[in-house]
């Protein structure tokens, strides 16, 4: 299964629009455009098809975690006690 297939399946399963995906990527400071996403979601035989790179998929998945769960809370620093 290619990265493009994974993106397509997640998009359908989560009912995401292109605007949502752009927003999710921006949560991890990764900028993408609707045009680039359109090329990724096209058929392999289409002249404007573009393979989805590992970097885009990785950043989308990391952004999706923040989008669904919220930002990770910072853990309090424990001070070591002198004995």
Give the predicted TM-score (pTM) of the model. 0.80
Count of CB atoms situated within 10 Å of the CB of 15:
7
Question: What is the pLDDT at residue 38?
Answer: 93
Q: Residue 63 class from Cβ within 10 Å (0-12 exposed, 13-18 middle, 19+ buried)?
A: buried
Going from the C-alpha of 49 to that of each of 18, 22, 28, the distances in angstroms are 16, 18, 25
Residue pLDDT tens, the chain, 83 long: 999 999 999 999 999 999 999 999 999 999 999 999 999 999 999 999 999 999 999 999 999 999 998 877 777 777 777 65
Percent helix, strand and coil across the chain, each to the nearest 5? 50, 0, 50
């Amino acid at each position: 299964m290619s990265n493009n297939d994974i993106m397509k399946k997640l998009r359908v399963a989560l009912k995401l629009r292109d605007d949502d995906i752009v927003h999710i990527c921006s949560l991890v400071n990764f900028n993408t455009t609707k045009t680039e996403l359109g090329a990724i979601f096209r058929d392999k035989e289409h002249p404007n098809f573009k393979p989805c790179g590992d970097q885009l998929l990785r950043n989308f998945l990391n952004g999706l975690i923040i989008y669904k769960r919220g930002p990770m809370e910072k853990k309090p620093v424990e001070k070591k006690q002198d004995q």
